[in-house]
Structure 1
Amino acid sequence: MTGLRRRLRALPLRSRLALLVTTAVAVAVAAAAAACWFVTQQQLEHQLDKTLRASKVDQQYLLELYTYCKSDTSQEPRPFTGVTVQLIDAQGTVCIAPEAVSQKLPVSQEDLDVAKRQRAYTLHSETADNGVDMRVYTSPLDVRGPGPASGSLAVSIARPMSEVTAPLSTLAWVLVLVAGIGVVGAGAAGLWIARTGLRPVDDLAHAVERVAETEDLTIRIPAEGEDEIARLSRSFNSMTSSLAISRDRQSQLIADAGHELRTPLTSLRTNIELLSRSDDTGRAIPPDDRKALMTSVKAQMTELAALIGDLQELSRPDAAQPGPLQVVALHDIARNALQRARLRGPELTITDELAPWYVRAEPAALERAVVNVLDNAVKFSPARGSIQVTLHRGELTVRDHGPGIPTEELPHVFDRFWRSPSARQLPGSGLGLSIVARTVQQAGGEISLRPADEGRGTVASIRLPGAPQPPPSG
């Protein structure tokens, strides 16, 4: 059985489908043919038995036959055609016409029981002396005649079983022929159906091979209908479209990263070359200028480190989580981020109103997201400005009084490396809000930026699902 399964699995799918259809049809046809044959056999045998029981033998002929056997006379009874007739007495003696001696039937116990009046009748099959299979009906017979022509007997009427077997044999050959034609036709139809049904699968396989060879993700498969093949085609098209978008994003990320890295690297290389040239030529740089150069080098290195960290954060797949999810207190994370924001903007007035709210997220990533939002507010706030931070029923709102974001730029604020023209002179890589949006979405929340309702400024809103009370432990 294992070897058969292994050989079947080695066959092409269309061959297996054709074989399956052929086998199913063959089994169905064989079952139908067998049922038809057996039903016909039962009906023919029943009809033969009914004919035997309805057969009427001339009483005069029976009397002549009985007189012939008892009187031992040479006067033979007149011939009787159509059936084989024999008489049986209680001792089992058989009386049969001379012309039918070769068709003499053996006497069974059931026949004797009928002759002795212990059974009303009997139906059974026997083989005559000439080897012909016969169907025998035995019934009681009372003979009344002069002299020895009287007594209690049983009469057996028999007809050849060929009346049943001959039509059955013909039917069997017809069924075999029809079944053979049906199986062959089913095999051809199954192969045609398999080829036709699997043609979209072949197209899909060829498309996959072309994508693997050419790396062309623009290949699409026509998807018509609502069957499984059409769904598979649409799924493949969706997959290649997603892969193309992912590759484009990767290429764009690399290009944007190279562009962003070029500026600090150029500045860093220029400063280092100045310091190296001073050492090579022996011309000392004034202490104030040297200190300014070293400060610039340190700033550029810090900017590079931050940019590389942001790129590492964005390099993870969108479906991957930064770490294990935990139930964390969003109000505590916001409070810690506020402490850092106050250190970065000591001249700013930062007020907060934080209601308890517990969410399921990765603590470090969520804190970094809140810090990035507050850093943007600090960065764009005017000197001695104010920032209002509130947390109410899972919505963290940060409102600054900076220049605000033009309405036409709002759709791009969460794009990677995108920076407003008015903010390109300020430090930063343009990745902060992208990381914030990614982190919030992974936690099942939403983030949005909108202009302030009154006056200048921007309102950043983070909504996270959670509860005002921590879930019970255990």
Structure 2
Amino acid sequence: MTGILRRFRTRPLRTRLALLVAAAVAVAVAAVAASCWFMVKVQLENQLDSSLRDTQVDKRYLTELYTYCRGTSQAPFRPYSGFTVQLVDSRGTACIAPSAAQLPVTSADLAVIGHEQADTLHWATAADGARMRVYTTPLRVSQGLGLPDTELALSLARPVSEVDRPLSTLAWVLLAVSGIGVLGAGAAGLWVARTGLRPVDQLTRAVEHVARTEDLTVRIPVEGEDEIARLSLSFNSMTASLASSRDRQSQLIADAGHELRTPLTSLRTNIELLARSEDTGRAIPPDDRRALMKSVKAQMTELASLIGDLQELSRPDAAGPGPLQVVALHDIVDTALERARLRGPELTIRADLTPWYVRAEPAALERAVVNVLDNAVKFSPPRGTIEIALREGELTVRDHGPGIPADELPHVFERFWRSPSARQLPGSGLGLSIVARTVQQAGGEITLRPAEDGDGTVAAIRLPGAPQPPPRL
């Protein structure tokens, strides 16, 4: 059985569907045919029993049969209208017409003669081997027959072949009809399977084409709203997402290469100058050497920052943030402020922080806040002022720099995007992209807008939380 199931599973899907449909129809047809055959059999047997019970044998025929059995008549005896008529006395002696095969006398027949039961129906095999249905009932031959008062039993029998022949014919008819039905069901199942699985074949060919050519522009036509249509829609959405992901990946690699090229070129130039000085023996003036070393250090720092940003962005969005914890946003802002003051010692930084607790990844959230403050430090004018406020879950950071033009605001959160006015400043163009991703993963939102008085830019981060930490369980 296991081997049959294994071979069945190796068949094509349409073949399995056709076989399953044919098997289901075969079982249903077999059940219906068997039920029909048994119902007809019971009906025919009941009709046969009724005909035996309802038959009234002619008194003259009984008289002639009795006189023949007593030996007082030698005339040849005729059959009685398709019935076999047999008389049985109390000693179990049977008398039957010479043209009929004798029936066996059973205990049920003797019980009828002895008035132990009113009548009986049973199966019997005649002397010639024919199967008979026998009905036995008491008979007093003195009643209207002009014969001595004698206890007899009258047995009427008809051959079972009267039932078996139509049943056999019916069985062959049902078998033929069932066979035709099963074959038709198998053919219909195969046709339905081929028709129903045609969209699946299209999907299979499309998947094979994508696997072979890596062509993600393939789309499957969607018809209707059934499961196949949903599968086609899912495939189209998947290929569109893959194509978009590949385009973003290609763009990220190109942008990363472009951003890496500038510091690497500058770093290479500075190192070549230092190496040439060593090779030629021409010493570089101390001030120039210090400037070169400072430039090398700055380029190394920029490369390290860029690589860190790329590592942060390399984490898939689907992976989600790390372990979430309840953290004090005001404490994180306080820590980030210390770093911001170190990077802009000449700037005035004013902070007004009220307690606010959020659920987020602490390290990622701190990095996001630091990036926002770094931007404010970077674009603030010398001896400028930065104003930070945290009220009811909204952190606002305002600088008094040149601001962001309205046509550039939609692009500030894109990877590697940098304002034309900021291309000469250090940075990779990834900071705000990382900030937006971290804030969204924490369930919040970030916006950049011009200050109300037109002087500088306001970065606003809103995170869901509460002014008090949740109680510990």
Is TM more than 0.5 here? yes
Alpha-carbon distance between aligned partners in 2 of 1:394 and 1:440, rounded to the nearest angstrom: 12
Match of 1:440 in 2: 439
Match of 1:118 among 102, 116, 119: 116
Match of 2:37 in 1: 37
Alpha-carbon distance between aligned partners in 1 of 2:71 and 2:111, rounded to the nearest angstrom: 25
Alpha-carbon distance between aligned partners in 2 of 1:274 and 1:399, rounded to the nearest angstrom: 42
Deviates more, 1:197-206 or 1:78-87: 78-87
Match of 2:63 in 1: 63
Alpha-carbon distance between aligned partners in 2 of 1:157 and 1:146, rounded to the nearest angstrom: 19
| Cα offsets for 1:14-56 (capped at 9, x unmatched) | 2211211111111111111111111111111111112221112
Match of 2:340 in 1: 341
Quote how far apart the aligned CAs of 1:378 are: 1.9
Alignment of 1:283-294 (within 5 A): 283-294=282-293
Quote how far apart the aligned CAs of 1:302 are: 0.7
Q: Output the amino acid matched with 1:21.
A: V
Match of 2:398 in 1: 399
Quote how far apart the aligned CAs of 1:71 are: 5.1
Match of 1:366 in 2: 365
Please tell me whether residue 85 in structure 1 is matched to residue 97 in structure 2.
no
Please tell me whether residue 180 in structure 1 is matched to residue 174 in structure 2.
no
Please tell me whether residue 54 in structure 1 is matched to residue 54 in structure 2.
yes
CA separation of 1:151/1:353 partners in 2, compared to 1, >3 Å: closer, same or farther?
farther
CA separation of 1:62/1:377 partners in 2, compared to 1, >3 Å: closer, same or farther?
same
Consecutive unaligned residues in structure 1, runs of 5 or more = none
Match of 1:242 in 2: 241
TM-score normalised according to structure 2 size = 0.94
CA separation of 1:238/1:75 partners in 2, compared to 1, >3 Å: closer, same or farther?
same
| Cα offsets for 1:444-472 (capped at 9, x unmatched) | 33222222334422222223333444344
| Cα offsets for 1:193-244 (capped at 9, x unmatched) | 2222222222112111211221111111112112222211211111111111
Q: Output the amino acid matched with 1:57.
A: V
Consecutive unaligned residues in structure 2, runs of 5 or more = none
Please tell me whether residue 452 in structure 1 is matched to residue 451 in structure 2.
yes
Match of 1:134 among 123, 132, 135: 132
Deviates more, 1:460-469 or 1:190-199: 460-469
3-state SS of 1:353 partner: strand
Quote how far apart the aligned CAs of 1:188 are: 1.6
Q: Output the amino acid matched with 1:272.
A: I
CA separation of 1:38/1:293 partners in 2, compared to 1, >3 Å: closer, same or farther?
same
Alpha-carbon distance between aligned partners in 2 of 1:367 and 1:87, rounded to the nearest angstrom: 115
Alignment of 1:424-439 (within 5 A): 424-439=423-438
Determine if contact 1:61/1:77 at 8 Å carries over to the other structure: no
Please provide the CA RMSD for this pair: 2.0
Alpha-carbon distance between aligned partners in 1 of 2:91 and 2:221, rounded to the nearest angstrom: 90
Please tell me whether residue 389 in structure 1 is matched to residue 385 in structure 2.
no
Runs (4+) off by over 6 Å: none
Q: Output the amino acid matched with 1:209.
A: E
Determine if contact 2:63/2:145 at 8 Å carries over to the other structure: no
| Cα offsets for 1:413-470 (capped at 9, x unmatched) | 1101101112222211110011111222222332222223344222222233334443
Quote how far apart the aligned CAs of 1:70 are: 3.2
Determine if contact 1:123/1:138 at 8 Å carries over to the other structure: yes
CA separation of 1:166/1:467 partners in 2, compared to 1, >3 Å: closer, same or farther?
farther
Quote how far apart the aligned CAs of 1:274 are: 2.0
Q: Output the amino acid matched with 2:203.
A: L
Determine if contact 1:137/1:157 at 8 Å carries over to the other structure: yes
Deviates more, 1:367-376 or 1:58-67: 58-67
Alpha-carbon distance between aligned partners in 2 of 1:216 and 1:27, rounded to the nearest angstrom: 47
Alpha-carbon distance between aligned partners in 2 of 1:118 and 1:127, rounded to the nearest angstrom: 24
3-state SS of 2:313 partner: helix
Alpha-carbon distance between aligned partners in 2 of 1:159 and 1:353, rounded to the nearest angstrom: 114
Deviates more, 1:34-43 or 1:135-144: 135-144
CA separation of 1:470/1:80 partners in 2, compared to 1, >3 Å: closer, same or farther?
same
Alpha-carbon distance between aligned partners in 1 of 2:178 and 2:249, rounded to the nearest angstrom: 62
Alpha-carbon distance between aligned partners in 1 of 2:50 and 2:351, rounded to the nearest angstrom: 106
Quote how far apart the aligned CAs of 1:138 are: 1.6
Alpha-carbon distance between aligned partners in 2 of 1:22 and 1:143, rounded to the nearest angstrom: 63
| Cα offsets for 1:118-157 (capped at 9, x unmatched) | 1122112211111111111122222216775322322111
Deviates more, 1:453-462 or 1:144-153: 144-153
Determine if contact 1:61/1:78 at 8 Å carries over to the other structure: no
3-state SS of 2:310 partner: helix
Quote how far apart the aligned CAs of 1:304 are: 1.1
Q: Output the amino acid matched with 1:231.
A: R
Match of 2:20 in 1: 20
Deviates more, 1:301-310 or 1:83-92: 83-92
Q: Output the amino acid matched with 1:434.
A: S
| Cα offsets for 1:352-386 (capped at 9, x unmatched) | 33333333322111110111011112222233333
CA separation of 1:354/1:49 partners in 2, compared to 1, >3 Å: closer, same or farther?
farther
CA separation of 1:146/1:212 partners in 2, compared to 1, >3 Å: closer, same or farther?
closer
Alpha-carbon distance between aligned partners in 2 of 1:315 and 1:276, rounded to the nearest angstrom: 35
